[in-house]
Every structure is written in C-alpha cells, then in structure tokens.
C-alpha cells in the first residue's frame, strides 16, 4: 500500500501510467471488448487488468493521470451502434468521474465502434475492467503536469 495512491492501481498499471507521455492514449475497456488481442497491438504489448467497474477504474486512473487539454478528444467513449448520441448509464458514470477529476465539465466525445477499435490498437495500453454493461469502453489521452510556479 502507498499513501494517497488508490489501491486499485496495481504495480503494472502504475508503471504503464508513469511510462506514458503526453498524447499517449489509455483505453479503459469493459469485459466484452476484445482486450487481449487489441492489447497485443499497443505500445505496451500486453493487457493490464483492474477488477472493478469502469467508473471506479476511471476514478483511480484519473487520481494520478492528467487528461490532455490541448485536444478536443482527450476523453472519448465508444458510441452506441445506430444511436451515436445516446449516452449509456456507464458512460454517464465515467463522465462524472472525469468531471470530478478535472474539477470542471470535461465532455467526452463519441467514437464509432470500429473507429474506437482502431484508436485502441494505436494506444499505449489497455486496461480491461470487470464492467459487464455494454459500451463501458473509454479512451483517455494523457496530458501534462505543469511545472511548479
């Protein structure tokens, strides 16, 4: 255990988050996502796991991970097939964690399912969660931490 580090963040996940640079993508995926095969194509090349729901994983990750504020797609969700503007409850829960972590509204963009798969393959890493609800898949682009003033 480490002080002020969320206990969900295991050593493998912390190592990957620390190694990532500005602009690298992290995918937080539900149980139905083809996480193992997609993760093999990422920069990290192997799957990370956190056995918790997507929103809880997002909260843990965002406690140490800055989102990229220089782009419009710093946070994204997989769109519902045929209803791209529909926001599933799991996405609303993750949106609340993103907003809380940022201290302000930080809207996620929607990404069509197959385009999301392509973004995931180009990501730095994939974390598979124990989320069983559909469309519990998110892309979080790493930002920067400003130097002390």
CB crowding 123-139: b at 16 or more within 10 Å, else e: bbbbbbbebeeebbbbb
Active-site annotation holder among 65, 117, 124, 135: 117
The pTM of the full predicted model, rounded to 2 decimals, is 0.96
Is 68 part of the annotated catalytic residue set?
yes
124 annotated active-site: no
Q: Tell me the Cα Rg of the chain.
A: 14
Residue-level pLDDT at 148: 79
Q: Is 135 annotated as catalytic? A: no
Q: Tell me what pLDDT residue 32 has.
A: 97
Catalytic residue among 22, 51, 72, 114: 22
> CA end-to-end span of the chain, whole Å?
30
> Which stretch of 2-6, 18-22, 29-33, 88-92 has the lowest confidence by average pLDDT?
2-6
In three-state secondary structure terms, 18 is helix
Lowest mean pLDDT segment, chosen from 17-21, 63-67, 93-97, 144-148 = 144-148
Give me the DSSP letters along 98-116. Answer: HHHHHTS--PPEEE-HHHH
> Choosing from 6, 24, 25, 68, which is the catalytic residue?
68
For tokens 């093999």, name the residue: 40
What is the rounded distance in angstroms from the CA atom of residue 128 to the CA atom of residue 113? Answer: 17
Q: Tell me: the pLDDT tens digits for 51-110?
A: 999 999 999 999 999 999 999 999 999 999 999 999 999 999 999 999 999 999 999 999
CA–CA gap between residue 36 and residue 100 (Å, rounded):
30
């Amino acid at each position: 255990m480490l002080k002020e580090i969320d206990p969900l963040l295991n050593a493998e996940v912390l190592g990957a988050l620390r190694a990532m640079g500005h602009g690298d993508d992290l995918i937080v995926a539900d149980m139905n996502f083809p996480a193992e095969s997609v993760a093999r194509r990422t920069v990290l090349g192997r799957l990370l796991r956190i056995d918790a729901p997507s929103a809880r994983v997002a909260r843990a990750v965002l406690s140490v991970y800055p989102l990229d504020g220089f782009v419009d797609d710093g946070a994204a969700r997989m769109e519902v097939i045929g209803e791209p503007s529909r926001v599933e409850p799991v996405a609303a829960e993750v949106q609340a964690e993103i907003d809380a972590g940022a201290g302000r509204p930080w809207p996620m963009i929607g990404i069509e399912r197959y385009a999301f798969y392509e973004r995931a393959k180009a990501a730095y890493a994939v974390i598979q969660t124990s989320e069983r609800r559909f469309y519990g898949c998110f892309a979080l682009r790493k930002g920067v931490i400003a130097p002390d003033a």
